[in-house]
Structure 1
Amino acid sequence: MLVLKNKQEVTDFIQSLKYKGLTIGFVPTMGALHSGHLSLIKKSIEDNQYTICSIFVNPTQFNNLMDLEKYPRTEDSDIEKLNAVGCDAVYLPKIEDIYPKGTEIDPIDLKGLNSVMEGASRPGHFEGVATVVKRLFLQTQPTNAYFGEKDFQQLQVIKQMVKDLNLPINIIGIPIKREENGLAMSSRNIRLSQDYINKSTILYKSLIQAKELVKCHNNPKEITQIIKKLFNNSDLKLEYFNIADEESLLTPEEFLQGTHYRAFIAAYAGDVRLIDNLRIL
């Protein structure tokens, strides 16, 4: 596997692939890779002639500096995992490769998808995500790019950005990979104690219950109130539970036939923030 350590190296590599007319699959990550990430790599390898993964902990998407400092960094083991699954290249940009003029944000119209749920809880987060992904796209020029549905709102934001900027890239979402107990795989799970790993199953259980409640409730707000009560005696602190239209990410007054809806949840297990989601209709 080729290890690309700066913008010039990735530019030269991509140009050589483009010259040969080869398709490029791209998986941008912040490292601390787990089976969820590797499922994206495997799908990219299946779909494309070359696959490149980037590892870059992006400072502009963190509105909490402590969270940025604590974010797990496991570069050596990440490279081993990528090599083992057959990834063709890994890009390890330095901060100046992505932000040569300082950590400024690009003005990108995200059509309000950045203002609800994660966007409301983490002001500026999606502006940072859109900026770094846009810059990585321009450097790697992929045919297809792969994102996990655990960050479903992020997936919709990226799709909107690509549409708004008219980038010739197919954005492909990959279903959530879960632990045996239902907990969504996340790089942050490394920081969970075994006790919190066990207790964090309440996130997935609440999503499953919401899916069941849809069968007898047509009012999303009623379901939300029922789910919130599950956390009254939980050791996890619920930040939000929301049901939204998958396209607009807005909460409807009632469910409409022919429209897909998804339940979204964020909660704290100690000082570790966890998110999850599930299509419920």
Structure 2
Amino acid sequence: MSDTTATAHPIPVVARTRAELRAARAALGDDVAVVMTMGALHEGHATLIREARAAAEHVVVTIFLNPLQFGPKEDLSRYPRTFESDLALCAEAGVDLVFAPTPDVVYPDGDPGVTVAAGALGTVLEGQTRPGHFDGVLTVVAKLLHLTAPRHAFFGQKDAQQLLLIRRMVRDLDVPVDVVPVATVREEDGLAMSSRNTYLTPSDREAALALSRALRAGAAAAAEGPSAVRRAARAVLVDEPLALVDYLVLVHPETLQDVPEWFHGEALLAVAARVGTTRLIDNLPVRVGPGGGALAVFSRPDLPDTAGGRG
């Protein structure tokens, strides 16, 4: 790793095959964190990497556009591919190893015959709109966890349902890794950072801001109870006709069931909407009831010790 980028950051080792990954990963030892991406990296990914760097001696980033999580009506070919700029971001953020395989490396026999099923939690909200999506996500995450063997894995709160399902899979299947949530990173105007934002026209982007405004309005009403949260958030969305809402929910963060009116505690306020040709999701953890309001991430209750399995 003596080569450097123009900004004098060491260039990460790039592994394309399982053998290259195995050799490079062996040199890093036990204290490793992983950040999994599909490429088109932005400041949200950089934040994940920095959090990983603060927690572990070495950081591995995976860049893999996973075909299993794209449905038949979703254009995989449209997804942006920006490997050179992705690698530069990884170098600047201090990544040690980038695993960037092709589908035939991850799935050498084609579509796998055995996959990870998301269960009932994978059939609601995003799972209802995108059937089978979370099965594809969990299958590739499980494979990449085995291949990269990290002690910690960092995932963004923006994909709240995905984060919940990954934590549930790790718990249920006794995968020895600590899943660490990182607060959603936003643009200065409040829009949650996403690779899909590049699809938005200027007018689309203006309309898309209704999602984050709705979440903030809901959180501001959290002390008054669940109905007030839903009512305040819905009022903002109704005022933006260009945002075609798929769902707006206030649910329990572990079950994804609507919270009842008497509920006090942490809940997930989540929204999905189509703006122009782009479908966007956003969410905000909130504390409902006296003293309520927005949270960065949910509290992490004591979980079985799965992080100690690698040293």
The residue aligned with 1:236 is 243
Select which of 17, 34, 46 maps to 1:6: 17
Q: Verify the 8 A CA contact 2:237 2:243 in the aligned structure 1.
A: no
Indicate how the Cα distance of structure 1 residues 183 and 111 shifts in structure 2: closer, same or farther if over 3 A, else same. Answer: same
* Number of residue pairs the alignment of both structures matches: 276
The amino acid across from 1:250 in the alignment is Q
Structure 1 residue aligned with 2:133: 125
Aligned pair partner of 2:279 in 237, 255, 273: 273
Q: Percentage identity across aligned positions? A: 34
Alpha-carbon deviation of 1:67?
Answer: 2.9
Q: For residues 254 and 107 of structure 1, do their structure 2 counterparts lie closer, same or farther at Cα, with a shift above 3 Å needed?
A: farther
* Residues 1:48 and 2:59 aligned together: no
- Could you say which residue in structure 2 is the equivalent of 1:183? 191
In structure 1, the partner of 2:268 is 262
Native 8 Å contact 2:117 2:135 kept in 1:
no
CA distances 1:75-129 after superposition (whole Å, capped 9, x unpaired):
1110111111211111101111111121236443545221211111110010000
- Quickly say closer, same or farther: Cα 1:218–1:89, change in 2 above 3 A: closer
For residues 135-182 of structure 1, the C-alpha deviation after alignment (integer angstroms, 9 at most, x for no partner) is: 001100001000000001100100011111111100000000000110
Aligned to 2:142: 134
Shift of 1:273: 0.9
Which residue does the alignment assign to 2:211? Answer: 203
Task: Identify if the C-alpha distance between structure 1 residues 91 and 65 changes in structure 2 by more than 3 Å, giving closer, same or farther.
Answer: farther
Inter-CA distance 61–226: structure 2 relative to 1 (3 Å threshold): same
| Contact 2:217-2:232 within 8 A present in 1 as well | no
**Residue equivalent to 2:90:** 82
> Distance in 1 between the 2:113 and 2:207 partners?
37
SS in 1 for 2:111: coil
**Any conservation in 2 of the 1:217–1:223 contact (CA below 8 Å)?**
no
Partners of 1:191 and 1:272 in 2: CA distance:
7
Q: What is the distance in 1 between the residues matched to 2:226 and 2:168?
A: 29
Which amino acid is 1:253 matched to? P
Q: Following the alignment from structure 1 to structure 2, what is the Cα–Cα distance between the partners of residues 172 and 89?
A: 19
Per-residue deviation, 1:225: 8.8
TM-score (norm 2): 0.84
CA distance in 1, matches of 2:266, 2:114: 31
**SS at 2:171 equivalent:** helix
Amino acid of the residue matched to residue 4 of structure 1? A
Q: Does the CA contact (< 8 Å) of 2:273 and 2:280 recur in 1?
A: yes
Change (3 A) 1:233 1:176: closer
CA contact (8 A) 1:105 1:131 kept: no
* Structure 1: gaps (5+ residues): none
Residue 15, structure 1, aligned to residue 26, structure 2: yes
Q: Secondary structure at the match of 2:21?
A: helix
